[in-house]
Amino acid sequence: MGLYLLPRRWQRYREISRVLLRHGFGFLLESAGLRRLRWPPRRAVPSPPPAHHLRLALEELGPTFIKLGQVLSTRPDLIPPPFVAELARLQDRVPPFPAAEARHIIEEELGAPVEELFADFQEEPLAAASLSQVHGARLRTGEEVVLKVQRPGIEAQVATDLEILRRIARLAEERLPQAELYDLPGIVEEFGHTLHAEMDFRREANNAERFRHNFTGKPYLYIPRVYWEFTTHRVLTLERVYGLKIDDIPGLEAAGIDRHRVALHATDVVMQEIFQDGFFHADPHPGNFFVLPGDIIAAVDFGMVGYLSRSLREQLVSLLAAAVQMDTTALVQQLLRMSLVETGVDREGLRRDLERLLQAYAGRPLKELRAAAVLEEAMPIAFRRRLRLPAELWLLGKMLAMLEGVGTRLDPDFDPFAVARPYALRLLRESTSLSALTERFRSALLDWGELLLDFPLHTPTLFTRLQRGDWTVGVELRRTEGPLAVLDTLSLRLSLGILIAVGLVVAALFLRLLLVPGTWWSWLIVGAGGAALAGLLAAFVWTLRRTG
């Protein structure tokens, strides 16, 4: 397949080519068949490490590639650990765009001048990122709000970049044999869905509402109100909250905040998200959490979230139980049940790797374990053994590592496992309860019922293929000489035994005929039958001797 460039995309191809060349990744262009796009011809030789230059290149290429790097940082099954660690440091900070452009987008989306919509609008942005920037404002009714405004032209740029990534992924899959192992087009498509979802601010508003609903009755977590009448897919309006950043230790101490209670509340929030709700904040860096008076935590920025199904949560508890018991065999079996291990994986090698990992923490109290350290040691195993862990699990691991960092700063002696234990035990009890087992049995019966109902529909096709003779079964046998010889001997002996048994039955019937008076013709039957049986046995014995 060739590469055909539309005029509007030509400049972007040139820019990507130049950046990759400058950071020493020109070989990627050559491998993908894009050699003719290599400008300038001279090649810069960067100093190591390559992972550092990849991060710089992605930051230079802008929003789409920054987001792509952030997604790849959650996939240590695809890229080596040094690259995962470096991509996790990607900075999503860019210069702000003019306030006049923000005003234009707000007025275009909300259908009225800014002065009519708000009593006050702050020209100076509070924050700027690759996809949006945030302005402060005050409603006509007096409430203070923040407006998240999409960066102008970002949708067109993302569409162009995604099309380029799709073309490069297809070319790489055609030209690079190792690319088939990763399904690059599929990765790009999944990334595109994630990016489009993050650019739709109505989804973020729905996420905020869902968190607000999930934590109803939990006074220690505050979720800002969404103002739907001032929210569209390009503008998000939320209640403005004032507080101290959760990692501002001097500020918290000066305000008389109980740091232990804050750590307890933060951990309880995360455990409820994981074990109870299956819906978690996937970007929990300290800038997204503030502490209000009364040791209350306020969360902001709900664009990146993670989902854990009920079955996945139950499987995670089983996985954790096997790890705590240091049962590496059960650990591997659980990974297999979760379909996280490829078919041809070296199971014994995986078990040894996991055993070495667990032995490093044997005998240590749970509160001394560090999620960040465990995650860092697990990443090489995932990459080497090609474990296919869902992106949500890596997002979950990153979230726990961030929580751990913040919790350690708030209270170095805090034990997060003490908070997690009741949630895990409750989920374990629920998953093994009679009602849960009954529901699983009912679901299995429904599946079998559907299979039986569908069977008559497929039966004609089955018989048609059998009649045509195009039903084929592929079987590969290796090292079968010895087993086949044994089976051959057993089959011959079994046949001989069957013949002898038949002979005994026939002899019994003949004997019964002989005992009946007046049946002179029975002697003829006995003679003929005996001769035939003797002939069969003689022929069979002769065949055995001939074949050995």
pLDDT of residue 140: 95
Rg (CA), the chain: 35
Cis peptide before 365 (omega within 30 of 0): no
Active-site residue, from 161, 283, 301, 353:
283
Residue 114 has pLDDT above 80, yes or no: yes
pLDDT digits (tens, 9 = 90+) for 235-249: 999 999 999 999 899
73 vs 251, residue with greater confidence: 251
pLDDT at 31 (0 to 100): 61
The CA distance from 541 to 548, in Å, is: 10
What pLDDT sits at residue 415?
78
DSSP output for 289-326? EEEETTTEEEE---SSEEE--HHHHHHHHHHHHHHHTT
The residue extents of the domains of the chain are: 7-92+162-187, 93-161+188-240, 245-433, 485-547
377 pLDDT more than 60 = yes
Question: b/e per residue, 61-80, with b = 16+ CB within 10 A?
Answer: bbbbbbbbbbbbbbbbbbbe
Mean pLDDT of 451-467: 65
pLDDT (mean) for 432-441? 66
Answer yes or no: is pLDDT of 339 > 50: yes
Q: How confident is the model at residue 3 (pLDDT cuts 50, 70, 90)?
A: very low
What's residue 38's pLDDT?
Answer: 47
Length, in residues, of the chain: 548
More confident site: 11 or 209: 209
More confident residue, 6 or 158: 158
Classify the C-alpha dihedral 10-12-17-18 as positive or negative.
positive
Long-range contacts from 258-262, C-beta under 8 angstroms, 24+ separation: 258/295, 259/410, 259/411, 260/410, 260/411, 260/414, 261/295, 262/291, 262/295, 262/297, 262/410
> What's the predicted TM-score (pTM) here?
0.72
Compare 448 and 203 and report the one with higher pLDDT: 203
- Candidate CATH numbers 2.40.160, 3.90.400, 3.30.200, 3.40.50; the one for domain 93-161+188-240: 3.30.200
Helical ranges in 255-298 per DSSP H: 259-271
Residues 10-15 have a mean pLDDT of: 82
pLDDT for the residue numbered 319: 83
Q: What local confidence, expressed as pLDDT, does residue 171 receive?
A: 82
Asked if the model's pLDDT at residue 15 lies above 60, the reply is: yes
* Per-residue pLDDT at 1 exceeds 50: no
Q: Is the pLDDT of residue 430 over 80?
A: no
Angle 109-111-116 (CA atoms, 0-180°, nearest 5)?
Answer: 115
Q: Is a pLDDT exceeding 90 seen at residue 151?
A: yes
pLDDT-based confidence at 346, cuts 50/70/90?
confident
Helix (H/G/I), strand (E/B), else coil: 218: coil
Are 523 and 514 in contact by the 8 Å Cβ rule? The answer is yes
* pLDDT value at residue 277: 93
Of 89, 140, 134, nearest to 114 by C-alpha is 140
Give me the residue label for tokens 């650019």: 199
- pLDDT band per the 50, 70, 90 thresholds, residue 292: very high
413 is catalytic: no
Per the listing, tokens 């897919």 go with 233
Of the candidates 65, 72, 52, which has an alpha carbon nearest to the alpha carbon of residue 15? Answer: 65
Residue 372 reports pLDDT greater than 90: no
